[in-house]
Homo-oligomer: A and B are copies of this chain.
Amino acid sequence: MLESWNDGPAKSAITDFVARAVAEVPAEDRVAVFDNDGTLWCEKPMYIQLDFLLRRFKEQAEADPALREKQPYRAAYSGDLTWLGDAVTKHYQGDDGDFTVLLAAILSAHHAISVDEHAERVAAFYADARHPTLGRPYTACGYAPMVELLRYLEANGFTNYIVSGGGRDFMRPITGPMYGIPPERVVGSSVGLIYRDGDVFTTAEPEFLDDGPMKPVRLWSRIGRRPIFAAGNSNGDIEMLQFAQAGTRPSLQLMLLHDDAEREFDYVAGAERALDLAAAHGWVVPSIRTDWKTVFA
C-alpha cells in the first residue's frame, strides 16, 4: 500500500491517522472527502472541464458569429485563453467579475438535454481529448499516489467521496474507472434539472457552486455525516478541511502542494490562504516533488 509515496512525515501522518481511525471510529463514520481538480487529477494548464466547455463554446461560436465578439466564446474561438486563466485565478483571489461571465456561459453550454445525453457528450470528450502538455489522455491524468491513498483508505473501512467545485455530471462518467468512486459518491457543482415525460433534463439555471463554504454544506447534505479525512489543494477547500477538523473524532486534513515543475506543475496561485492555514492548523502538506515517487501511473 502507498507504494508511490516516499517514506516521510506526510506518509507517516496518513498511516498513523488511519491506524487511529480504525481503532477509534466506527467503520460507517470513516468518511473521506477529496477535492478533484489539483487533488486527484491535474488541473493545469487549465481545468479539464474547461477544455470540455471550450470545445462547446467553439461549436457555439462557429454556429453563431455574434458570439465570437463575446467572452468566453472569443477565447474559445480564437484559442487565446489568457482571459479564462485570469478569470479563474482572480476567482480564487476573491474577484468574481469575469468568473460570473464564465459561469453564465457554462450554464447555457449544455442546457435542455437529458442527463443521459449529457453523459454521452462527456463520454465522447473523454474518449477523444488529451492533456495539452503531458501527452496522455485526460483519463490518465489522475495522480497514482492519490489513487493508492483511495484504495488504502477503502482497505481500512473508509468510504471515499469526491467533493469538487467541478461539475458533478462532468465527473460521474469517469470517477468509477479512474478512482473507483461510483456516481452516487460524487458531489459537485450542478445546474438545475427538470423532470418531463419519464426523463430528467438540464436547465440553464444554476443550482450549486460546490466551492468554499458550500463544500461542507453540500457534502453534509449528501452524506449526512461529518468526514474525518479531507484532502484538497486550494483556497476553495479550506472550509471542507475545517469542517472535518472541527469534529470530535480523530481527523486528518491534507493540502497537496504543487511544487514539481518537471513531473507536473509548480504553482501556489489560488492556494495562498490554504497553505497559510495548513501551517497554522497542523494540516499535512504533501509535496509532489519530495513525497511522491511517481505522479502518474
Contacts and interface: CB of A to CB of B under 8 A. Distances in A.
Interface of A: 28, 115, 168-169, 172, 182-184, 186, 190, 193-200, 213-214, 216-217, 220-225, 239, 242-243, 245-246
Contact of A220 (B115, B213, B243, B245): B115
A195 B195 CA distance: 30
Contact of A184 (B169, B214, B217, B225): B225
A216 B200 CA distance: 7
A222 B190 contact: no
23 contacts: A168-B221, A172-B224, A183-B225, A184-B223, A184-B225, A190-B221, A193-B221, A194-B213, A194-B217, A195-B213, A195-B214, A195-B216, A195-B217, A195-B243, A196-B213, A197-B246, A198-B242, A198-B243, A198-B245, A199-B243, A200-B216, A200-B243, A222-B222
Given A182-B224, A183-B224, A198-B243, 10 more contacts: A168-B221, A168-B224, A183-B225, A193-B221, A195-B213, A195-B214, A195-B216, A195-B239, A199-B246, A222-B222
Nearest to A28: B182
Contacts of A193: 217, 220-221
Given A195-B214, A198-B245, A216-B195, A224 B184 contact: yes
Contacts of A182: 28, 224
A186 B224 contact: yes
Contacts of A200: 216-217, 220, 243
Contacts of A168: 221, 224
Contacts of A198: 242-243, 245-246
A195 B172 CA distance: 25
Contacts of A220: 115, 193, 200
